[in-house]
Amino acid sequence: MDDMDTKQTMHITIQKGRSLPELERCTTCCNVFHCPFCSSTLFHSTKLSKVRTHLESHFSRAVLHEGYTIHRSRGRKDIRDESKEEEEKEEQEGLESPV
């Protein structure tokens, strides 16, 4: 029980308020900026101002919860499919009366 747990930060997709994660210039695959929420195959690295504009668009799909903004990573089509399934399931549950 040392302070290893307290050091552990929240997932990058969870940001306090409407703050954005600090953007750092990439030094591994390019010398511009990546979106911290998207994989580089979905959002290609670009100059800082463009990444900032892109990050603003993340807010439109983000979920606000108790003062935190929870961003959804893009490119996971299973997320959309899941929510659709849930809706259908709810309808079915309402029709069927359990014993």
Name the site residues for Zn ion (rule: CB under 5 A): 26, 29-30, 35, 37-38, 43, 45
Quick one: tokens of 55?
A: 């990050």
Closest CB to Zn ion among 4 and 29?
29
**C-alpha to C-alpha distance for 79 and 86, rounded to whole angstroms:** 11
Q: CB of 7: closest distance to Zn ion in angstroms?
A: 26
Which conformational region is residue 54 in: left (phi greater than 0), alpha (psi within -120 to 50 degrees), or beta? alpha
Q: CB of 84: closest distance to Zn ion in angstroms?
A: 22
Closest CB to Zn ion among 53 and 89?
53
Give 43's DSSP letter: S
Closest CB to Zn ion among 19 and 92?
19
Q: What are the φ/ψ torsions at residue 4 (nearest 5 degrees)?
A: -65, -40
Q: CB of 10: closest distance to Zn ion in angstroms?
A: 18
